Structure 1
Amino acid sequence: MKSLHQLEVIIMLLAVVLALTTIAQKIRIPYPIFLVLGGLALGLVPGLPAVTLNPDLVFLVFLPPILWAAAYFTSLREFRRNLRPISLLAVGLVLATSAGVAFVAHALLPGIGWAEAIALGAIVSPPDAVSATAIGKRLRIPRRIVTILEGESLVNDATALVLYRAAVGAAMSGSFALGHTLFEFVFAALAGVVIGIGVAWLTRWALCATDDGFTQIGVTLLAPYIAWVCGESVHASAVLACVAGGLYLRQSFSGAVSPATRLQARAVWDLLIFILNGVIFILIGLQLGALRDSVAPGQFGPVLIAGAWVSATAILVRFLWVPLAALIPRWLSPTLRARDPMPPWSALFLISWTGMRGIVTLAAALALPVTTSSGVPFPFRSEIILISFTVILATLVLQGLSLPPIIRLIPLQEDDGLEQEETLAREHAATAALNRLDQVITENWVSLEQVERVRLRYIQRLERLTRASLAEEQMSTSTAETVQRLQHEAMTAERMALIGLRDNGTISDEVLHRLEQELDVAALHLGVGERRPGRTHA
């Protein structure tokens, strides 16, 4: 019966996630923030059963696929180009934030030890990969800023968790070994990367060993969990194992599976990540009810005030660190200054303000031991958990809600680099196809007429690319929107005609599905793939 009750809770949570996500899209609020607020409201409703968050469940079930997917869709080229700012944020800023928060917590909470204060700093120091990916990609942010924020959020968990384990170990035993902590950090990072690349290599081998699309998709779903478990079993960084695995597999995935499998895998992974993100954010909001009862009577308000000060400290340290991390390397290296000039203030401000904490912070806080090695309760455990929850709310809700108006107000440089690269890639690919057709003419398995028929398609594609490029240069925003609307109207007419043929028995459902998939792919290419039939605007 207990398992049946848990299943009912899961079904209810999924239904609430879908409903709140729909409302968030209607009122144009990033859905992670709206889900947290919705969970917060539900947690305050009297009579509802308390939903507690198991940290082991978060670390094992939720994080591996989310980290793997985030790394998979991160450009390895851009990650390498921005490795310096990513490292300064993922390592240096985590250590600086942990130190600043530890000093503030030690001053605000009488009796708290330095080990517990540093543990709190490590818990709240890393911005979350889930929050950055779920919120940042839905806003108009220049690509380099997105790459830096995503890269930081992918790597900083490894730094924070190593420091967290060292601080918790010191609080448990009463001693702290700096040399051992440094060795543990280096070993965890290197071993995690090696494990991730190894799992990705085995995944690629498994993908090439089978031609069944469903089996291949299943292999991709299993890979992040294997990387995580292997990393944890040897005390390596499971976070870096998933990040390295996702980055490495992306480089060979295109050649290992068929186009149909890639489309199916993308749909499966998009749905999985959406569900995991939704459940995570609503669970964050639901924790307030349980956390409120864990603090001694009369201490709830003072602890929340301490949480507000810790939140302000984390935000302030980030505002101080980001411009210094950009200025000092360029001041020390004239070569770097010439190759990569100082970013505009708007970019530095946006990176400074985008530091949302999320599920890793809450899971690490909840994973604090209940007792120390001597059997006494872990000092300030309830206070650390509630302060961590306060930091999540302050950064996720305050900073996340303010991001859209801030982005509209501050001057950001237009970023059309990806569009230019896409046009170049399309032209290069079509030219390569024509060159290959010239080669196969001499082979006796194909006729000249068949070659010319295919060649005509690629010549027409190159002509369309040239016309589209010229048209885009002369096209205003209103004209572009009108053209998209016309494309949507025409494709909707095609779709309705096909449905009519199916309804009157002229064609079968199989033919309809095949032609409808072609229309869906074409709609994605034309930029109208998110519009439903009958709607003329998004």
Structure 2
Amino acid sequence: MHVMPLLLLIAGSAAVAGAARRTRVPAPLVLLAAGLTVSYLPGVPEYELDPDVVLPLVLPPLLHTAATDSSYLDLRAQKRPVALLSVGYVLFSTLVVGLMVYTFVPGLSAAAALVLAAVIAPPDAVAATAIARRLRLPARITTILQGESLVNDATAITAYKVALAAALGESVGWLGGGLDFLVASVGGVGVGLALMVPLHWLRTRLKDALLQNTLSLLIPFFAYALAEQVHASGVLAVVVVALYLGHRAWQVDFATRLQEGAVWRMVAFVLESAVFALIGLQLPVVVGDLGDDYGTGEVLWYAVALFVTVVVVRFVWVYPATFVPRLLFRGIREREANPTWKGSFIISWAGMRGVVSLAIAFSIPTTLHGGEEFPGRSLILFLTFTTVIGTLVVQGLTLPPLIRAFRLPGRDVQAETLVEANAQAQASAAAEERLEELMADERNALPQPLADRLRRVMERRRNAVWERLGTPNPLTGENADDTYRRLASEVIAAERDVFVRLRDARYIDDEMLRTLLTRLDLEEAAAFRESEAD
């Protein structure tokens, strides 16, 4: 891809995603529709998905962002349902969907059918995370969907490699395929475990926030490349490292965390926007590859049958995987809350496919080892594309009203705020005790105004969360904390205007202006820190 088309893709997808944030429609669907529409406009260059770019360069940072934002403790608490979906469901779907394709699509070999089934087996990490956050699903469902999407790509890619080897005529077999899967999985986890402690140690030893964030940007690519180099799962290596770094993020300095959060939010926004737009832009490529080998009605019938099968198979797996273990094991019934059929329905319906499936499909070789064409490659590409589009559009559009109709219990904001306030009260008490110890030492003597300011800052931090529980202002609807942040922003804006006027009058130079504005920015960020958590 040349530079200008790439810049147009990034700029255009970012603009569409920005506009979508002002609507109630999930941004992935708006980007998908925009990509489909633009793909047929005259003069638009052909965007062909390159798996050598998507898998090693796009997938690692997206997985890293999703994993660092996930909770290791929550995932550990839900390890059984996550494992049953990310490993069990992907393998079950590969076998069942592969059998269906082999039965209903004439001329497609069993190995080629399994290739297609493995390609479309994993629900997409980006789609699951984006929609789960937007809809504020119950915490358990969100954790399960996020955890599944972090690991299932590794299972699907390994299953795809086994099926592809069989399609190419290489001797694999069930035993060899199982061994390859075991080696890739254990190897990926092993690489992640080997890297996570040294990388975290290096992060905590670097004192320059710019260097720390440069390292942060390189980590997912390095973990993925190293694992793939030793024929292990790069996906699992990235996830293991990112979960550990996210769990230990409190051990790096505040400047790194502030920069890192902003940098990764920007990276994720750009990549997610481009990825979904790129899916829509693939239509001319996919249809062009299909050629005249298949009739329109024929391929549409295959597409509908495959979409329905993919949706049904997920239901067939999710409900038994949710309720059968509870029937078989008393410990699970005593340890875990009873899941509802509505929650299982949402998990079943949230199996949208995405760019990973398309990237894997485009990596299918065009010829076999003997030089003849890969059987049904164009049809596999087309059916992958229609399945991705079908799940994103049908399930993506119906998921929000479905959740509203089910009236699933969402987040208890009042209870969460109360827990946050109690945690802040304990932390503030410890901070105040430590401050008094420090102030008792003559080496830490401060002028009284500065000492009082330290105490006021801690008091403000302690009271801020409790104020969110207070009665709103009858005129504005704001609670005291909201009003404080608004007034602080107005006051800081007034200071900022004065600094700019003084710079324009040449009373201060630009370097001093930047210093003063940075100080105000940090104060404004501190005033608004609670709003980020809401």
TM-score (norm 1): 0.90
Q: 1:498 aligns with which of 495, 510, 518?
A: 495
SS at match of 1:336: helix
1:54 Cα shift?
Answer: 0.5
Which blocks of at least 5 consecutive residues in structure 2 are unaligned? none
Relative distance call for 1:481 and 1:99 in structure 2 (3 A) is: farther
1:151 Cα shift?
Answer: 0.2
**Correspondence for 1:269:** 264
Question: Separation in 2 of the partners of 1:438 and 1:264?
Answer: 31
Deviations 1:312-342 (A, max 9, x none): 1111111222221111010011221122132
Question: Separation in 1 of the partners of 2:529 and 2:458?
Answer: 22
Counterparts in 2 of 1:7-86, with a 5 A limit? 7-86=3-82
Q: 1:231 aligns with which of 207, 227, 234?
A: 227
Question: Separation in 2 of the partners of 1:70 and 1:403?
Answer: 21
Amino acid at match of 2:467: A
Relative distance call for 1:288 and 1:519 in structure 2 (3 A) is: same
SS at match of 1:170: helix
1:350 Cα shift?
Answer: 1.2
SS at match of 1:137: helix
1:109 Cα shift?
Answer: 1.1
Amino acid at match of 1:15: A
State whether residues 93 and 117 of structure 2, in contact with CA within 8 Å, keep that contact through their aligned partners in structure 1: yes
Relative distance call for 1:35 and 1:414 in structure 2 (3 A) is: closer
Question: Separation in 2 of the partners of 1:478 and 1:115?
Answer: 68
**Correspondence for 2:443:** 445
Relative distance call for 1:250 and 1:165 in structure 2 (3 A) is: same
**Correspondence for 1:536:** none
Q: Does 1:515 align with 2:515?
A: no
1:282 Cα shift?
Answer: 0.9
State whether residues 124 and 149 of structure 2, in contact with CA within 8 Å, keep that contact through their aligned partners in structure 1: yes
1:520 Cα shift?
Answer: 2.9
**Correspondence for 1:525:** 530
State whether residues 67 and 239 of structure 2, in contact with CA within 8 Å, keep that contact through their aligned partners in structure 1: yes
**Correspondence for 1:426:** 424
State whether residues 434 and 458 of structure 1, in contact with CA within 8 Å, keep that contact through their aligned partners in structure 2: no
Q: Does 1:292 align with 2:287?
A: yes
Relative distance call for 1:209 and 1:455 in structure 2 (3 A) is: closer
1:359 Cα shift?
Answer: 0.9
1:353 Cα shift?
Answer: 0.9
SS at match of 1:342: coil
Question: Separation in 2 of the partners of 1:522 and 1:135?
Answer: 29
Amino acid at match of 2:257: R
Q: Which moved more, 1:208-217 or 1:497-506?
A: 497-506
Q: Which moved more, 1:204-213 or 1:386-395?
A: 204-213
Question: Separation in 1 of the partners of 2:531 and 2:183?
Answer: 48
Question: Separation in 2 of the partners of 1:463 and 1:155?
Answer: 39
Relative distance call for 1:93 and 1:511 in structure 2 (3 A) is: same
**Correspondence for 1:534:** none
Question: Separation in 1 of the partners of 2:336 and 2:529?
Answer: 35
State whether residues 203 and 220 of structure 1, in contact with CA within 8 Å, keep that contact through their aligned partners in structure 2: no
Deviations 1:338-395 (A, max 9, x none): 2213212221121111111101100111111111222211111111111011110011
State whether residues 103 and 117 of structure 1, in contact with CA within 8 Å, keep that contact through their aligned partners in structure 2: yes
Deviations 1:9-65 (A, max 9, x none): 011112211221133123322111111111111112244221111111001110111
Question: Separation in 2 of the partners of 1:217 and 1:503?
Answer: 30
Relative distance call for 1:421 and 1:80 in structure 2 (3 A) is: farther
Q: Does 1:190 align with 2:186?
A: yes
Q: 1:156 aligns with which of 142, 149, 152?
A: 152
State whether residues 64 and 238 of structure 2, in contact with CA within 8 Å, keep that contact through their aligned partners in structure 1: yes
**Correspondence for 1:304:** 300
SS at match of 2:22: helix
Deviations 1:509-531 (A, max 9, x none): 232331133113312324699xx
Deviations 1:246-280 (A, max 9, x none): 01112333213x21221111111111111111111
Amino acid at match of 1:494: V
Question: Separation in 2 of the partners of 1:372 and 1:77?
Answer: 46
**Correspondence for 1:415:** 411
Q: Which moved more, 1:407-416 or 1:319-328?
A: 407-416
Relative distance call for 1:439 and 1:167 in structure 2 (3 A) is: same
Q: 1:406 aligns with which of 394, 402, 405?
A: 402
RMSD: 2.6
Deviations 1:272-323 (A, max 9, x none): 1111111111111111101111113253442232122111111111122222
1:445 Cα shift?
Answer: 2.2
Q: 1:387 aligns with which of 383, 398, 419?
A: 383
Relative distance call for 1:482 and 1:463 in structure 2 (3 A) is: closer
How many percent identity over aligned positions?
A: 36
SS at match of 2:115: helix
Question: Separation in 1 of the partners of 2:119 and 2:107?
Answer: 19
TM-score (norm 2): 0.91
Amino acid at match of 1:464: N
Q: Which moved more, 1:137-146 or 1:519-528?
A: 519-528
1:120 Cα shift?
Answer: 1.0
1:449 Cα shift?
Answer: 7.6
**Correspondence for 1:460:** 459
State whether residues 346 and 411 of structure 1, in contact with CA within 8 Å, keep that contact through their aligned partners in structure 2: no
State whether residues 140 and 407 of structure 1, in contact with CA within 8 Å, keep that contact through their aligned partners in structure 2: no
Amino acid at match of 2:527: A
Q: Which moved more, 1:238-247 or 1:126-135?
A: 126-135
SS at match of 1:309: helix
